[in-house]
Structure 1
Amino acid sequence: MARISTLYLLAYNSFQAIGWAVSLTIILFNLLSTSSVTGTFTSAGTLICFLQSAAFLEVIHGAIGLVPSGVLLPMLQWSGRTHFVLAIVRGIPEVQELPFVFITFLAWSIGEVIRYSHYAFSCLGNCPSWITYIR
């Protein structure tokens, strides 16, 4: 029987992978339907703010020894991204329609779908080699 911590990590990583896949879908749908990179924050910003805020759990995972990553690196990544998305992009309306928001959110979404899928499959002990390769 799987340990409760493994089941929790499977659920957390699956939730994040699905959430980032949804955000990627929203971003691409917005691009295709408007033929513009503006509107990315309006369409996917709330979801991305939520997913990025929830990623603070990764700091806790490292702090309690649930994962071997430690605390410092997850904290640096989480704080930098969260500051960017909440304080800068969400906090300054003029910034929300700039192309760099589209580029950043698209890159984050692609990267996080791959990363969290890899972690989720690893919890199952059966990560496809192609996911490991692209990660």
Structure 2
Amino acid sequence: MPPLSRLYLLAYNSLQAIGWAVSLYRVLSNFVSTNSINGAYASAGGLIGLLQIVAFLEVIHGAVGMVPSGVLLPLMQWGGKTHFLLAVVLKVGEVQQLPSVFITFFAWSITEVIRYSHHAFNCIGSCPSWITYLRYTAFIVLYPIGMGPGELWLMYQALPIVKKKNLYADVFASLPFSYYAFLKVLILLYPFLWLKLYLHLFKQRRSKLSKDHEKKRK
């Protein structure tokens, strides 16, 4: 990898790691200070939204070959999270104080601090083995937590409000279905789309941890 590209990726991943660490701090500090999980969106929603929008760069990174991730999986992950944040949570204010937001933000923040830290250390060619282990192990618990009681349950809870408000009626006016219908179908498909990513991560885990183990033996 060219030095300039490596430097760029180091800066990008480091800033994302810091941003998600700040998000985690805000979510937890709000919980501690208020003794409530209802303020997660108010405390960190704006920052997390910004970090997620910027993360579209990762799709571009894969598209231009800067990283070997490809395009499809990063796009699926980015699209799912961005839709959840900007199309549902941001626009349906009634769900912003639900426990699902806290659960999602908590799981996302820990996951992303680990993931971006791992990428940043790899950019300098020296990643501690414990970070590699966390990168390919923590997701086993954190991903289902973020998806099930987090994203999926919140979108389900948002359905009656979406229907009542006829959300995005103008956008869907020329289509034969409403956003409400789209969201219902998405909720049905979500576990299957998520499972594709989840199984891919297990495949990565076997590959990466076995390589790390081989390095230690040498």
Q: Runs (4+) of structure 1 moved beyond 2 Å? A: none
Determine the structure 1 residue equivalent to 2:109.
109
| Correspondence list, 1:1-135, <5 A | 3-135=3-135
TM-align CA RMSD: 0.7
Paired letter, 1:67: V
Larger radius of gyration: 2
CA shift for structure 1 position 94:
0.3
Bigger relative contact order, structure 1 or 2 (CA pairs below 8 A, ≥6 apart): 1
Q: Give the secondary structure class of the aligned counterpart of 1:30.
A: helix
| Distance in 1, Cα, partners of 2:116 & 2:66 | 16
Paired letter, 1:124: I
| Distance in 1, Cα, partners of 2:6 & 2:68 | 13
CA shift for structure 1 position 80:
0.4
| Distance in 1, Cα, partners of 2:42 & 2:69 | 33
CA shift for structure 1 position 25:
0.4
What CA deviation, in whole Å up to 9, does each residue of 1:35-76 have, x standing for no partner?
A: 100011011000000000100000000000000000000000
Paired letter, 2:86: L
Report how many aligned residue pairs link the two structures.
Answer: 134
| Distance in 2, Cα, partners of 1:50 & 1:133 | 28
- Percent identical among aligned pairs is 68
Q: Which runs of 5+ in 1 are unaligned?
A: none
Alignment TM-score, normalising by the size of structure 1: 0.98
